[in-house]
Amino acid sequence: MPEPHDEGECVIALDVGGTGMKGALLDRELKPVLTARRPTPRGAGPDAVLDAVTAALTTLAEQAAHHALTVRRAGVVVPGIVDEERALAVFSANLGWRDLRLADLLARRTGLPVTLGHDVRAGGYAETVLGAARGARDVLFVAIGTGISAAVISDGHPLRAGGYAGELGHLVVEPDGAPCGCGSHGCLETVAAAPAIAAAYTARSGHAVDGAAGVAALVARGDADAAAVWARASEALGAALATATTLLAPELIVLGGGLAEAGELLLAPVRAALAEHLTFQRRPNVVRAALGDEAGCLGAGLHAWQAAEGAGVPGPAGAAVAR
């Protein structure tokens, strides 16, 4: 039975990324009372990152008190392998954590009840409740940035598999391809992640470029080398999504992350590549994410409200969030 509540309640939401953290105080309608951003000091080591996360939560709690808000719970989402059931950060190459009982540590340090989640799964969940996938029950949310990861929503429920579900970036798309940081070769990330796209353009053209966004701009201007690199990445994404579609039959694929900021420049060739690989499968619609880089933070807030209430959380239009 959900507990009675008043209008002076909020949750703390914190999305911890490899380069920066996005935090917010979210009211019961999932609207931000305030937001905050700060860098992630991963270069200083995992202990420094833990200290920075603690400081971010503490500051947000102090700001809630300043606004006369009662904090019901904090939701923290992080990259890597995250076992939500055990509240365990199993492994994060970006942050240097391994088998870290992060929720317990943060709760002891801050005095706040803490719910731990995975950044991309949280972002995908937020898109199903608040964004581009609202109302859909079978969704594949793909975040394409420094790495590539996916969130699977099946029959309205997130697929976690002990934290290992959704590693789309490590499907092999070029068996004789470049080595991947995971230890394999030719993974999707080595072809279609933002750093791989930028590196491929530099290798092909001999010219440095300002990341994948720089390659996208060159594609739009008709640069032949950029177009070739972009086509290779789009084909690889289409092939990987075809494999995921065959296994999971999503009705909707939502592309997010920094690369999706290219809009139809990315979506159109990915749709075409996906269509070429499908025969009998249910053909999903492919759309751009609606929540941008706020998706993970909003997802953290959703999970925090769920844990605080012990039941579905009313969203902006009264839509219930499935537990």
pLDDT tens digits, one per residue of 43-64: 899 999 999 999 999 999 999 9
Same domain, yes or no: 102 and 149: no
Kindly state whether residue 250 falls inside one of the protein's structural domains.
yes
Alpha helices in the chain (DSSP H): 46-66, 102-110, 119-130, 189-192, 194-205, 211-220, 224-248, 264-277, 295-309
Q: How far is CA 162 from the centre of its chain?
A: 17
Q: Would you call 96 exposed, middle or buried from its count of C-beta atoms within 10 A (0-12, 13-18, 19+)?
A: middle
pLDDT over 70 (residue 32): yes
Same domain, yes or no: 181 and 244: yes
State how many domains the chain has: 2
pLDDT over 70 (residue 1): no
In contact, 178 and 195? CB cutoff 8 Å? no
* Average pLDDT over every residue of 97-119: 94
**Residue 162 phi, psi (nearest 5):** 70, 15
Model-level pTM?
0.85
Q: Which residue has the tokens 């579900």?
A: 165
- How much is the pLDDT for 314? 42
- How much is the pLDDT for 34? 92
Instruction: Say which CATH number the domain at 63 has.
Output: 3.30.420.40
Kindly state whether residue 278 falls inside one of the protein's structural domains.
yes
In contact, 122 and 15? CB cutoff 8 Å? yes
- The parent domain of residue 82 ranges over 9-119+293-309
pLDDT over 70 (residue 322): no
Residue range 121-173, pLDDT digits in tens? 999 999 999 999 999 999 999 999 888 999 999 998 888 888 888 999 999 99
Average pLDDT of the chain to the nearest whole number: 90
* pLDDT band of 321, cuts 50, 70, 90: very low
pLDDT over 70 (residue 290): yes
Same domain, yes or no: 180 and 96: no
How is residue 4 annotated by DSSP?
P
Kindly state whether residue 314 falls inside one of the protein's structural domains.
no
The DSSP H or E segment spanning 87 is none
Same domain, yes or no: 180 and 272: yes
**Residue 172, helix vs strand vs coil:** strand
Cα(28)–Cα(30) distance, rounded to whole angstroms?
5
Cα(276)–Cα(270) distance, rounded to whole angstroms?
10
Structure tokens at 59: 């500051």
Same domain, yes or no: 49 and 178: no
- How much is the pLDDT for 311? 54
Cα(309)–Cα(312) distance, rounded to whole angstroms?
7
* Average pLDDT over every residue of 10-22: 92
Same domain, yes or no: 115 and 183: no
Same domain, yes or no: 101 and 189: no
Same domain, yes or no: 237 and 212: yes
**Residue 194, helix vs strand vs coil:** helix
